[in-house]
Amino acid sequence: MQMTLIAIGKTQSSWIQAGNVEYAKRLNHYGRFQFIETVDIKPRSGKPDPKWVMQQEAKILDKHLKGVDHLVLLDENGKSYSSVAFSKHIEKLQVRGLKHIAWVIGGPYGFDPRIRNLAHEQWSLGPMTFSHQMIRPFALEQLYRAHTILKGEPYHHQ
């Protein structure tokens, strides 16, 4: 199964980039994994209109969502899991015979309604709000942790 984490916009901080690279590399040990960052959407002038920004981001996401069987949006209002429950949910998705699952981290204004309508699920990494830059290494680490739990590896201590 192909697994992809898509993030709107580029990571600005080198220390966040380093974490992204490290966990994306680790995830490749468990199957085909890709971490994609899209271009940043910025209006030509003036204050950005959130609706316009979300529409432009949706157009960019369309290119990356071709062939995705199961789309999960990472959203502060989504369902929260413990790490163990998260791993069991990923296992259920794997045994369904899905070819490609994608998780998407939205931009600062969230998701366009059209993308929300395409999603099969919305997951939250907790009740706190994180910047769309910071959530990247958190999401990657949790995906990695889930796979180590499923393989019975000692990364996760219970």
Residue 22: inside a domain: no
Q: In the prediction, which pLDDT does 158 show?
A: 67
**Digit-coded pLDDT (tens) for 22-43:** 999 999 999 999 999 999 888 7
The domain of 108 spans: 2-9+31-40+49-151
Residue 61: inside a domain: yes
For the entire predicted model, the pTM comes to 0.94
Q: Supply the DSSP string of the chain, one letter for each residue.
A: -EEEEEESS----HHHHHHHHHHHHHHGGGS-EEEEE-PPP--SSSS--HHHHHHHHHHHHHHH-TT-SEEEEEEEEEEE--HHHHHHHHHHHHHTT-SEEEEEE-BTTB--HHHHHH-SEEEES-SS---TTTHHHHHHHHHHHHHHHHHT-TTS--
Read off the CATH number of the domain in which 120 is found: 3.40.1280.10
Residue 53: inside a domain: yes
Count of domains in the chain? 1
Residue 117: inside a domain: yes
Residue 77: inside a domain: yes
Residue 157: inside a domain: no
Residue 20: inside a domain: no
Q: In the prediction, which pLDDT does 98 show?
A: 93
Residue 24: inside a domain: no
pLDDT digit of tens for each residue in the chain (158 aa)?
899 999 999 998 999 999 999 999 999 999 999 999 999 888 777 788 999 999 999 999 999 999 999 999 999 889 999 999 999 999 999 999 899 999 999 998 999 999 999 999 999 998 888 888 999 999 999 999 999 999 999 998 76
